[in-house]
Structures are given as structure tokens and as C-alpha cells.
Amino acid sequence: DSLLQEKLEGKSWNYICDQNMTNLSVAVIGAGAAGLCAARHLSAHPRVRATVYEQSSSVGGTWVFTDNIGKDQNGLPVHSSMYKNLRTNLPKEVMAFPDFPFPENKETSFIHHSEVLEYLETYKKHFSVDKLIKFNTMVSKVNPVVSEENTKWEVTTKCLKTKEVETNIFDSVMVCNGHYSVPVIPKIPGIEKFSGTFIHSHDYRIPEAYQGDSVLILGGGASGTDICIELSQQAAQVYLAHNNPLLTTRLPTNVAQVRGVQSCIGPGAFLLTDGSKVQCNAVILATGYEYTFPFLSESCQIRVENRRVQALYKHLVSVEHPSMCFVGIPLQVCPFPQFDLQIRYFVKLITGQVKLPTKAEMYADSEQEMEWKKNNLQMPEKYFHKMGALQWKYNKEIAELGDIKPISNGVENLYNAVHERRKTNLPDYKKDSYSLVGEESFSGNVFVHEKGTYRKI
């Protein structure tokens, strides 16, 4: 074993699957946006045979809305965090997969979640990937089988209808299980004293449930700010508690930004980090989600520490077993176009069209990135996968490594313009509509709150 390990350690990974095989079998875990995109690009390759495992009965992953919270019909935790009125916080013009635009709709750019699901259904049909998907099938274990020649993957699944368990062998595994389903629940000292309603945004569904309430939302990210605007129409008072720099946006009159929570000090009272106090009868945690891969055996050598998935090359490829990848790990990105780039790069890797660096070089690359983020951006390790403005450099790197056409500058420019707009006008930015103009530019109509009219840009 140690001799084999030494050989593997010193090897330049170059080709990560046996290039003499006529057929390459790939297991895809999950049929959300990332899994469907993986199926689309794998099936386009003549040498590749893909199988997509989806534990629910439909495609779409997090975009499948359900009123239910807690457990689903199979007794598994409800996967989706979608709420009834959610509209995208990115314009559809930047959300689309590069080879499949959203249907034309000049009226609105920020669409209802049901339209995103419809888009994914249409994508699935257009690229004929239905036949590759095994529905109601849960992946219970993934285990690498390492020999001197290569690594194969044992994938054990359970049909949730028949309870039948089977194990199949694959050459490669693409993990596309999403990371918006297992909530991060912070420990709040004294929370047992609180007598009001207390949920994570994962279980938030409708604003009417909070009519006349005083609501404390913990977290100033996308979910916290979105829910805060929606709740302001029903709740008497909304407190948006976070430790980020204060938002510079106009806010509804019944929304107040406050500092983060230090402790619960009574049935309806919280002490904040700046010493002030708030009274409320409902709490919503918008504190994010965990990365979880409960089906990976220890031999997969993937660990999640401090919200960082390790060890991955370029937030994607397993360094120890590079015929496995994890699509969609980065946060605060334009997701579908990035999935598309990651997947096309990985398909080129497993089919031998591009090569990987050595294991030592891949480890060094990740450590250099972490050090640079710590030193130059003062970014703590738990934000390693958080990209925001850094996503464009990352996307260009992936495109270059895979010799793939990069995402157009127009998408980047529009994304950045909307980001700036949201900073100053959270309540109204979803009223705007945009169009991409060529590869570089965009045009649009933005809502002017003071005048109640639209301005062309």
C-alpha cells in the first residue's frame, strides 16, 4: 500500500481516467441545475456514459417549491429553501446557461422561482437528458477503489420506492447535491428563554404568517435582505441584525438595521453586540447553509472544516482523487454560467483533452489562494469559497484551463451594475428590466423611486 501511495504521490496526474477505455462511466449526484448541466455536457461526448441519481421525483433541486417543511414524503429532510413569492435576485439575462437563453420577456428580468424551474425543465427536454436520470434514488455511499492503474468508484444507491439497494462501479463521480438545504444554526446564549416563533429561513414560506409581528432577522446576506423587504409589508416592525458594514440602501420605514445578536435576555428580548436591546416575538435565522456530503466514505478524503471543502483544486476537483469533482461550491456567484464552465472543464479532464498539474502543485495552488485572501482581503478561512467580485477572475481561469469560450463581458458588466443598484435600492431593484447588447454591453429600464417612473440606461 505504501509503495502504491508513493507511486501515486509522485505521479503527474495528467490523465485522470484511463484513456484506453472505449467507454467512460460517470455518476452524477443530483438533478438540480448543476446535475442537469453535467448530464447535458457528458451526454454530448461520444465516449461517455452518464447516470444521474436524483432522490426526489423531479428535476430542479433547490428550485422546486414545496409548502412542506421538516420531512418530505420519503421521510428525508425537505431539500428546498424556496419560499412562495421568491423572485431571483439576479436578472435572468445573466442567469442563463451560455448555450440556452431564458425565454424573451421584456417586462421583467427578476423572475419568479417557478419560471426558473420551467427553464430547467425545458433545458432537460431540449438536451434529451431525461433518459439518464434515475428518480427517487438516493446515493447512500460513494467509495473509491484505488489500484496502481487507476481509481474506480463504488456508488451505492437505494430506490426510495422499492427500497432496493444496489452498488455500481463508475470511472468518475460528479457531486452536484447543492448547498442550500442544511441550515447553519448559530448558538445563541439564553435562547431557551425566548417564547416566540424561531425558524431558519430554510423553513420560511409566506409573509402572511408574520402579520403584525415584530420580527428579528439574523443575517444581512441575500436571504436576510430579501425576506426583510417582503416581511415589511406584513410585519409591524422588522429588525435586520448583522455584523457587516451597514447597508447603504433605502429601506422601508418599518425596517431597522441593528448589530448582531449577543444573547437572548428574556421571552421577547435580545441583547445586541453594541449593548442595545430589541423586543420581538419572531426570529428568522438567515445564517446560511452547511456544505454536506453524507454519502462520501472516509476514503474519499474530502473534509469540510470551517465551511471550507478540502482538498479541492480550483474549488472543483478532488486533489486526492481527481476523477471526482464538486460542482457549484463557490458562493455569491452567477451560478448557472459558472456551473457550465466548471463542468465543461471537468469533462475535458476526464476525457483527456486537458491535463491536471501534479498533486503537489494543486495543493500549493489552494494554499496560495487562501494566503492571498487572508493577507490582501483580510478574509477569514470560512469565506474561502465566497467569491463576489472575485468570480470573474476565477471564471476566466477555468475557461483558460479548459480552453473554453469565457463568459461574455456583457454578463459580467450587467451583474456588476445590478450589484451596485441593489446596494442603494433594495426595495425597488427587482422592478428593473435589462437586455444584453452584443458580447460587451447591456441596456435597461430602471425604476426611479422618487418619481415613480422608469429611466432608460
Tens-place pLDDT, residues 424-450: 999 999 999 999 998 899 999 999 888
Mean pLDDT within 208-232: 97
Are 259 and 191 in contact by the 8 Å Cβ rule? The answer is no
Q: Kindly report, residue by residue over 313-330, the tens digit of the pLDDT.
A: 999 999 999 999 999 999
- Number of neighbouring beta carbons within 10 Å of residue 453: 9
Which single residue is written with the C-alpha cell 469533462? 347
Per the CB < 8 A criterion, the answer to whether 195 and 268 are in contact is: yes
Positive or negative: CA dihedral 215, 220, 221, 222: positive
Checking if the pLDDT of 311 tops 50, the result is: yes
Average pLDDT over residues 299-307: 96
pLDDT of 11 above 70: no
pLDDT of residue 13: 45
pLDDT at 149: 85
Distance CA 56, CA 38 (A): 18
Tens-digit pLDDT profile for residues 417-426: 999 999 999 9
Helix axes 33-43, 113-126, angle to 10 degrees: 20
pLDDT per residue over 347-356, tens digit each?
Answer: 999 999 999 9
Residue 350, CA atoms < 13 Å, CB-side half-sphere: 34
DSSP class of 65: -
**Adjacency order of strands within the sheet including 165-170:** 137-146, 151-159, 165-170
Lowest mean pLDDT among 102-106, 161-165, 236-240: 102-106
Q: Which tens digit of pLDDT belongs to each residue from 261-292?
A: 999 999 999 999 999 999 999 999 999 999 99
3-state secondary structure of 69: coil
Least confident of 41-50, 69-78, 384-393: 69-78
Mean pLDDT of 88-98: 96
pLDDT category at 148 given cuts 50, 70, 90 is confident
Q: pLDDT tens digit string along 184-195?
A: 999 999 999 999
Instruction: Lowest mean pLDDT of 14-18, 116-120, 125-129, 232-236, name the range.
Output: 14-18
- Name every residue whose Cβ is closer than 8 Å to that of residue 163 and which is 6 or more positions away in sequence: none
* pLDDT at 79 (0 to 100): 93
Which backbone phi and psi does 398 adopt, to 5 degrees? -65, -40
Residue 6 pLDDT more than 80? no
Grid coordinates belonging to 255: 425596517
CA distance 122 to 206: 27
| Dist. CA 332–CA 90, nearest whole Å | 11
Contacts of 445 (CB under 8 A, 6+ apart): 432, 433, 454, 455, 456, 457
Listed residue (270, 416, 419, 352) closest to 45, CA to CA: 352
State residue 449's pLDDT score.
87
Q: Look up residue 81 and give its three cell numbers.
A: 429553501
Q: Half-sphere exposure (CA, 13 Å, Cβ side) for 224?
A: 25
Nearest to 204 by CA among 187, 219, 191: 219
The overall pTM is greater than 0.85: yes
Residues 6+ apart with CB under 8 A from 342: 316, 325, 327, 328, 398
Q: How far apart are CA 217 and CA 200, in angstroms?
A: 9
